Amino acid sequence: QGCTQKYIVKNYFYYYLFRFSAALGEEIFYITFLPFTYWNIDHSVSRRMIIIWSIVMYIGQVSKDILKWPRPLSPPVVKLEMRTNAEYGMPSTHAMAATAISFSFFIATMNQYKYPFELGLVAAFVFSTLVCLSRLYTGMHTVLDVIGGALISAVLLVLLYPAWDMIDHLLLTSPFCPLLSIVVPLVLCYNYPKLDYYSPTRGDTTTILGAAAGATVGFWLNNQYTAPVYASKSFQLGFPLIPSKMVVVLARFFVGILVVLLTRWLMKSMVLGVLGYWYKFPIRDLEARRRLEVEVPYKFITYSSVGFTATVIVPLLHELLGLK
């Protein structure tokens, strides 16, 4: 499992295109693009994307560990990634996330911004297609895994779309929102399907649900104590972007990402330190960190802090720095 086949890259264009496209379905993309939409585009768009993303990813991750369909055999397939090799293959959560994020962004913005409908549709299709093709190129999924992931995501979008506004309203106004936003994801994480061996799916699922939980509490808090969300839209992007507006967009993004990454680093260190002291294990003990009683609180607290920071602390800092 830990060995990779030797390979020779014969077409660097496809190699870098699909390695980059594969990264669009990983944490580095989520932790940059989703906060960017909240800080610089529109609060309502960001909320809907995060809700859809967390639901779709949870269903996809759980489906993998229930179905237990293996990934493509290597050889004959050459695998360019190894981190997710311990996971099962069906459905492709990269395909699910790419479909959910691109098309939820398109649906949420098409009535709020003036741009050609066809252009938005093509952009969403191209984005999701590139990510799907990258999973075939890197040898991590079969065609059926990718098609299944994209179709499941599309069906969930269709089913959830009529309830978008109702869900959004409840998450913003219900007095039970903060409690449910923490308790429900935690229950789901602690009752995640058990496997005979360790797989990173439970940890990744906890990361996703934790980030969504922290962001949801932040949405509710902002609506209760700052300004009503329905009346507030963050910095509206217009096209073409004038230089002064572009400077503000970049400043908000880099300040925000710096704070988010700092929060993640601090919380990881603090939570692991506390759990290590409580359960008597060295912080660098990888096996101990994979235990249920360690992995779930460690990742949930860390990433819920990241989600809360991105939606509450960073906007306050933007206002303090005059970047509103």
Asked if 43 is an active-site residue, the reply is no
Interatomic CA distance for residues 253 and 258, integer angstroms: 8
Q: Which amino acid is at 72?
A: P
What lies within 8 Å, CB to CB, of 294 at 6+ separation is 275, 279, 281, 288
First to last CA, the chain: 49
4/189 Cα distance (integer angstroms): 31
Q: How many CB atoms lie within 10 A of CB 35?
A: 26
- How many CB atoms neighbour CB 155 within 10 A? 10
Contact between 24 and 95 (Cβ < 8 Å):
no
Is residue 94 part of the annotated active site? The answer reads yes
Counting other chains too, the contacts that 289-295 makes at CB distance below 8 Å and 24 or more residues apart are 290/198, 290/203, 292/190, 292/202, 295/202, 295/203, 295/206
The CA distance from 57 to 189, in Å, is 13
Query: CA nearest 47: which of 125, 111, 98, 108?
Result: 108
Cβ-Cβ contacts under 8 Å for 147 (sequence gap 6 or more): 95
Q: State how far the alpha carbon of 141 is from the alpha carbons of 1, 77, 110, 227, 241, in Å.
A: 16, 10, 32, 45, 39
Amino acid in position 141: H
Amino acid identity, residue 198?
A: Y
Active site residues: 94, 141
